[in-house]
Chain A
Amino acid sequence: MECGRHLNIQLLTLSEVSAISGEAGNFTVTVKESPRYVDPDKCIACGACTDKCPKKVDNEYDAEAGKRKAIYVKYAQAVPLKYQIDPNSCIRLKKPGACGFCEQVCDAGAILFDDTEKTHEINVGAVVLAPGFEVYDPTDAKVWGYGVFPNVITSMQLERYLAASGPTEGHLVRPSDGKPVHKIAFLQCIGSRDENLCGNGYCSSVCCMYAIKEAVIAKDHVPGLSASIFYMDMRTHGKDFDQYMERAKNDSGVRFVRCRVNGVETDGVEGDLRLSYVNDDGRQIEESYDLVVLSVGLQTPKHVLELAQNAGIKLTADNFAATSDFSPVQTSQQGIFTCGAFAGPKDIPQCVVEGSAAAASVAELLAPARFELSTEVEFPDEREVADEDPRVGVFVCHCGSNIAGVVDVEAVEKYAATLPDVVYVERNLFSCSQDTQDMLTQTIREKKLNRIVIAACTPRTHEPLFRETLKAAGLNEYLVEMANIRNHNSWVHSSTPKAATAKANDLVRMAVAKVLLNKALRPIAVGITQTGLVIGGGVAGMTAALNIAKQGFPVHLVERTDVLGGNARDLKHTWSGEHIPTALANLVKLVSENTKISIHKNAEVTAVEGFVGNFRSTITGLNKSKIVIEHGAGIVATGGEPYVPTEYNFDSIPRVVTAIQFDKLYELNETHVKQAENLVFIQCVGSREKGNMYCSKVCCTHSVQSAIALKKENPNRNIYILYRDMRTYGQRESLYREARKLGVIFINYELHEKPKVTETGSDIEVEVMDHVLHRPMTLKADMVILATAIRPRKDASTLGKLYKVPVDSDGFFQEAHVKLKPVDFSTDGMFVAGMAHYPKPVEESVTQALAASARAVTLLSKTEVALDAIKATVDKEFCDGCALCIDVCPYHAITLKEETAEDGSENKYILINKAQCKGCGLCQGTCPKRGVYVAGFTMPQIKAQISAALAA
């Protein structure tokens, strides 16, 4: 977790903001830090305290499904990995003089029973509120039997039951009797879309997806398990979500039942549960299950509401932070921003996007103060050691009793001293502690050590720390190796201490053998052109370009047409009612007037070379005029395009129109629209069917919004919306509610029973299946409005190939990681925003554009990037240019160089682009001639380890 180690991030855990004063650019924030009762500088997270602690309480991390001790660490991979005492359950803290076992067993002396609350006053330029959500507690609603019947659990509890690190180690058993589960039911919308029972009228946006995921995983865990999801509308509107649902239905056999379950009752003595509901056909059904999972919604916690009140932040009717659609992370207070679930319920990718977007908005505000308070560490000059004889120092860590409790560390110390070139050995209680680090620096200098072996834990977590220590001692950071005698030894062989000691000796011998061949390596510095390029002049592209410019960096904006605005030029209102043309005109004005933005209209990118920090893109304009733009980062915001329907007789009946066409007619007060008494909307035209198995995300909200306007204009109109699942997700649910109150009629249809639209004389007839009556019914319509899909641009993959960025199976651009890198491409330095990525409403395009800008500026704000020195290197003496490595390189980092020498002989060899190389060494494993090696993992180094491993 990078946050824990970042030089410019200070973690304040167990802390809460109690007051904010000041103004944008200069706030004073009061933070209260509760006592941890454990000294984090001393705690090495060995776990001895937890082992001995006699007090067990419910574990909130396991959603109360499991137990933890009074002294504990939140979870195994926690950052910081420091224990804490829960003062509400600790025996000692409640009764002085009692217990105190943890203090006795803590070798590090980290227990602080007299720790106290601290108050910090911190001066900052901006505040970002990302306090998250709490899950709805279904106890009070009573009808679900939660808290009464033990086999009714929440989805968060099921999540923990399914986790290998959870209370049952991933075994799905019934809480009441520990019996295996055969039949599981998920009830959706518990604490969401329900004003009566819980007061939360909004849709929580994430529960449909997590329920499907949990059902699929539960079925994986328990062969033959029957899993049913009871829902009102399946809202799987995110990228690839519909495909996931189809797989759950067809491959995993998850059963989906559209209904609202009335309640949960007990079914006899065995702990089984009975559900009753009215099915699609209007029949009353009763079914029994042995586990019922409540898909609980998200809500803003009480302490966050208090914080919002203290900070003067306005909230929406649903108790989320109020924001504008065109500045989606700005709260009602200047300089205070918000993101994540506090700004409305949302899933992980959208949270990550908003997190980056908040960073972009903060950086826009604080651009003049960039680099004023951030720090960089300075190290002494490096000592040249290449010509020195090797002098290896070995440091054997006890890790409290973690290593020393199993391995005979004194024996290891003695053994290490006998190894060749080892001139110094010592043991440390904790090699990683700050005082040992200082001591190490001194010892390296005094004993003139030039190779270091740390026999301790894993290099994956601790090598960066010891590299810093070497740098502080004036030694090249790559002259250290770690012998992992804890994770790979004392912890896994605790019952065979003799064998563990022998293995520790072997591991030290292997590390010494390798470190003798280590060479000084230098991180590779790649220069960065501090200019951005944004492709696409729609809302997303303009927003990104404007943010980059306002952060202080020049940016080129390339638009293929002769006008800025993109698809938004066809839109009228955002879901919350903001007027799009006004906001769009303002955006175009700001972009056009900003001197840091160079706009290239009628232009397209036609050629690209270079890599992160150093792209050169060729732009071809009118009359084939070409210019080359040098840029450090690029954002693809080329948008999507509307689907032109062929179904529902769109071609032949003039009064069957698309939603965008209808909007125009409505705005013009066209006669047909004005006089229309009966209007039928048909949803999912071109979406969510074979070949286009994705949801276009905006159409449900759009149709509902149009329906409300039409009904308000003339309440006597008959308005029908034929839908498959109404996806007015998040706070958009309020529109759906309003439409129903106004009398808009919603009729559900299935994919295999699509409505039929025909023209008879002057009438249009729409035939749709009535599920209650089991027969088709016919609606007379003056107009039929088709909610048509959003398609990817056909030329997306052409642009994608130029930048080596992929498109997905639907044709939208594919981000680097669906959850954690939602705006990055796998190609470093390239980012994506807007509908080029997936269909989305305007406000989400704005957010994603800000996020892409923030990500791009992490590069543009630097003059160079330093890359790890573990890279492939060519040995020209042996490389004969056979090029076998070029095909296997997954990062396209290798090219073939052919040249003619002065004597006329042909010379072939490979070139490696270090900026693209990730050091995986597939080239090294493939090369038949030893013409290429990975620095730090060379053939001789690994061979030395093999020989050392087998030497004893």
Chain B
Amino acid sequence: MSFEPKIVAFCCNWCSYAAADLAGTARMQYPHNIRIIRVMCSGMVHPEFIMDALSQGADGVMILG
């Protein structure tokens, strides 16, 4: 089995979450390993969230905003 990383992404409702929606509308294809969590602003992402994700097995964390 090849390595399948698990990525948690925090996306701002007003920009990157909307961008991910548009990527769908445009049928752009990207790897399925990403799990998006919607936040109201990337500034809402508490450092603990990142620690939580990494300690619970995430291979990467993205904060997009």
Contact = CB atoms under 8 A, between A and B. Distances in A.
Q: Consider the complex of A and B and state whether they touch directly, i.e. have CB atoms less than 8 Å apart.
A: yes
A946 B43 contact: no
B37 A945 contact: yes
A492 B56 contact: no
Given A494-B29, A496-B32, A510-B37, A924 B21 contact: no
Nearest to A919: B40
For the complex, would chain A's binding face be called helix, strand, loop or mixed by DSSP majority?
Answer: helix
B14 to A, nearest CB: 9
A139 to B, nearest CB: 33
A942 interface: yes
Contacts of B28: 492
A492 B39 contact: no
Contacts of A493: 29-30, 32
B62 interface: no
Contacts of B56: 946-947, 950
A921 B37 contact: no
Given A487-B21, A491-B27, A492-B29, A939 B48 contact: yes
B39 A942 contact: yes
A328 to B, nearest CB: 35
Interface in A922-952: 922, 924-926, 934, 937, 939, 942-943, 945-947, 949-950
A901 interface: no
A351 interface: no
A804 interface: no
Interface string A474-515: 000000000010111101111110011011001100100000
A345 B26 CA distance: 34
Nearest to B26: A76
A394 interface: no
A937 B25 contact: no
A241 to B, nearest CB: 27
A949 B57 CA distance: 10
A487 B58 CA distance: 23
A946 B13 contact: no
B37 A946 contact: yes
A488 B52 contact: no
Given A496-B32, A949-B35, A950-B56, A934 B21 contact: no
Nearest to B58: A950
B24 to A, nearest CB: 3
B6 A950 contact: yes
Contact of B21 (A488, A494, A939, A945): A488
Contacts of B38: 459
B46 A934 contact: no
A487 B25 CA distance: 6
A921 B39 contact: yes
B52 A924 contact: no
A921 B40 contact: yes
Interface in B2-44: 6, 8, 13, 17-18, 20-30, 32, 35-41, 43-44
Contacts of A76: 25-26
Nearest to B10: A942
A499 B35 CA distance: 12
B13 A460 contact: yes
Give the interface centre of B24, B27, B48 by most chain A CB atoms within 10 Å. Answer: B24
Contact of B24 (A492, A870, A939): A492
Contacts of A942: 37, 39, 46, 49
Interface in A394-416: none
B35 A510 contact: yes
A450 B2 CA distance: 42
Given A486-B24, A943-B49, A492 B35 contact: no
Contacts, number: 110
B40 A949 contact: no
A888 interface: yes
A883 interface: no
A723 B43 CA distance: 51
A924 B57 contact: no
Nearest to B53: A946
Contact of A507 (B8, B25, B35, B58): B35
Contacts of B45: 925
A934 B28 CA distance: 33
A458 interface: yes
A947 B40 contact: no
A39 B58 CA distance: 46
Given A492-B28, A494-B27, A495-B29, A937 B21 contact: no
Nearest to A889: B43
Nearest to B51: A946
A920 interface: yes
B24 A937 contact: no
Contact of A921 (B20, B44, B53): B44
Contacts of A943: 48-49, 52
The residue in A507, A925, A934 that gathers the most chain B C-beta atoms within 10 A of its C-beta is A925
Nearest to A458: B21
B41 to A, nearest CB: 4
Nearest to A924: B44
A922 B23 contact: no
Contacts of A949: 6, 8, 35, 37, 53, 58
B40 A920 contact: yes
A458 B23 CA distance: 12
Nearest to B20: A488
Contacts of A488: 20-21, 24, 36
Contacts of A919: 40
B48 to A, nearest CB: 7
Contacts of A937: 39-40, 44
B65 to A, nearest CB: 10
A518 to B, nearest CB: 13
Contacts of B52: 943, 946-947
A939 B39 CA distance: 11
Nearest to B65: A920
A590 B20 CA distance: 55
Contacts of A924: 44, 46
A459 B38 CA distance: 10
Contacts of A460: 13, 17-18, 21
Nearest to B17: A460
B35 to A, nearest CB: 4
The CB with the most chain B CB atoms within 10 A, among A461, A502, A870, A939, is that of A939
B58 A920 contact: no
A920 B41 contact: yes
A348 B58 CA distance: 47
A203 B8 CA distance: 54
Nearest to A482: B38
B27 A492 contact: yes
A461 B41 CA distance: 18
A920 B35 CA distance: 21
Contacts of B13: 460
A920 B36 contact: no
A44 to B, nearest CB: 13
A502 B45 CA distance: 26
B35 A506 contact: yes
A710 B44 CA distance: 66
A911 B21 CA distance: 35
A206 B8 CA distance: 46
Contacts of A921: 39-41, 43-44
Given A461-B21, A946-B58, 6 more contacts: A492-B30, A496-B32, A925-B46, A937-B39, A942-B37, A950-B56
14 contacts: A458-B17, A488-B20, A488-B21, A491-B27, A493-B29, A494-B29, A499-B32, A503-B32, A870-B40, A920-B40, A920-B43, A926-B43, A934-B44, A945-B37
Cβ-closest 8 pairs across A and B: A921-B44, A487-B24, A920-B41, A922-B43, A491-B24, A949-B35, A499-B32, A487-B21
Interface of A: 76, 458-461, 484, 486-489, 491-496, 499-500, 502-503, 506-507, 510, 870, 888, 919-922, 924-926, 934, 937, 939, 942-943, 945-947, 949-950
